[in-house]
A and B are shown apart, each in its own frame.
Chain A
Amino acid sequence: MKIAIVDYGAGNLPSVERALRKLGADTEIATRPEQLSAAKVIVLPGVGHFSAFVEGLREKGLTSSLRTAYDSGVPILGICLGLQALFASSEEAPGEKGLAFFPGEVRALPKNVKSPHIGWNQLERLQPSKLLQGIPEDAYFYFAHSFAAPAAREYTVAACNHGFPFAAVIEQRNLMGVQFHPEKSGEAGAALLSNFVEAVR
């Protein structure tokens, strides 16, 4: 099963690609709509600014093919900014539209905590999870972000807390998302990506 890694123009794709290949997954970098239309599995990595991300997707004509892929049940995994882009909007870019697969707004971390939230943090498990299966409850994952999605019950399987409880791992139907960087999270991150590869195989 080939995994299409979406390239919107500014993400750090090589480390995600390398991590998936190490697990034996077949990958391709997707920059054109027809690649996403043909994709059986999609990974949406991202770093940087919310508006650069959604504008990048729009300019490459990828927004509607992502929508079609989502509607037809293709598994999609958003990483970091890729998770945030699944939401309707973000405080980072007022007025800008996200993919809106989930309702709600991505919010800035509050002023009473250090921001960006950088470093290794643990998760609170809220629901059974495919991605976290077999990974110790106290495992650490590497986070690097200043904005986060609210930890609503209907999609959050694991939350983290930095200023407010936010969605760290999302699973709902064919949508998955992680706020941390599994490709930078040592063995725990590799185990999560391995669960993903197994789940979509």
Chain B
Amino acid sequence: MTLARRIIPCLDVDGGRVVKGIEFEGLRDMGDPAELAARYNREGADELVFLDISASRDGRATFLETIRRVAEQLNIPLTAGGGIRKMEDGQAVTRAGADKVTVNTAAVERPDLISELARQFGSQAVVLSMDVKRVGTKWEIFVRGGRDATGIDAIEWVQEAVDRGAGEILLTSIDRDGTCSGFDCHLTAKIAATVAVPVIASGGASTFEDFLAVFQQGNADAALAASIFHNETRSIAALKQFLAERGVPVRRKA
């Protein structure tokens, strides 16, 4: 009887499509959200995270419609986020079918948001996303998609967020994000040792060995990645087989 380590694909959504940011090119269309969600579900994904990266109000309505369409056919947990600034935003995505809500910039600007969401939905439904960058000798929180420095210490922030009721931490290393040089195991282990809630590691995944390292050395409870799963060369089923053979408990589909 073992709690499995989770593999979580993350999908960025804009205008009702899954997109991927490409350097010098902008956004590339990766496909239909519901179709990708169904494929990940089939391949054995343990949960899905959908992030709204559109900035407009129209984009918001389209995002909710996307969540509705995806939730319709999913029988694994679904987390939604991107632009959740107040309780009503959280209610809108959960009504659309999300099981958990994730908050980032707005929670840094107004930490009460975490408390409000936890009171309404319970801690198990509130995921704090934090984008962290090494600055000198400390780890610092960055906001607005990792662009703006805040001066806030990541260790202090994660403690406050959990005290306020965040039930899970989605930890992204800005230093590693998009580099394909592997998860930041040092940072992940530090956060995992700081708080008593599950930690989802993100940023830098490229090989199966990266996932093995973040579970074994980083003590991550779950690992999240976007683009490496979008192209079908690396399936979740193959990743899970790789991890299982090396002693990492994972949920395998029968």
Contact = CB atoms under 8 A, between A and B. Distances in A.
Interface of A: 10, 12, 14-15, 18-19, 47-49, 111, 113-124, 136, 139-140, 142, 144-146, 160-162, 181, 183-187, 189-190
A193 B197 CA distance: 29
20 contacts: A12-B99, A15-B99, A48-B120, A48-B121, A48-B122, A115-B196, A116-B123, A116-B197, A117-B3, A119-B3, A120-B4, A122-B1, A142-B76, A144-B124, A146-B122, A162-B3, A183-B75, A185-B76, A186-B75, A187-B254
Given A47-B125, A49-B119, A140-B4, 6 more contacts: A114-B197, A116-B198, A117-B3, A119-B4, A185-B76, A189-B75
A124 B124 contact: no
Contacts of B253: 186-187
Given A114-B198, A184-B77, A185-B75, A119 B124 contact: no
B184 interface: no
A186 B76 contact: yes
Q: Name the interface size band of chain B.
A: 20 to 34
Interface in B33-90: 41, 46, 71-72, 75-77
B124 A116 contact: yes
Contacts of A19: 75
B1 A118 contact: no
Contacts of B123: 116, 146
B16 interface: no
A117 to B, nearest CB: 7
Given A12-B94, A111-B196, A49 B122 contact: yes
B222 interface: yes
B197 A119 contact: no
B167 interface: yes
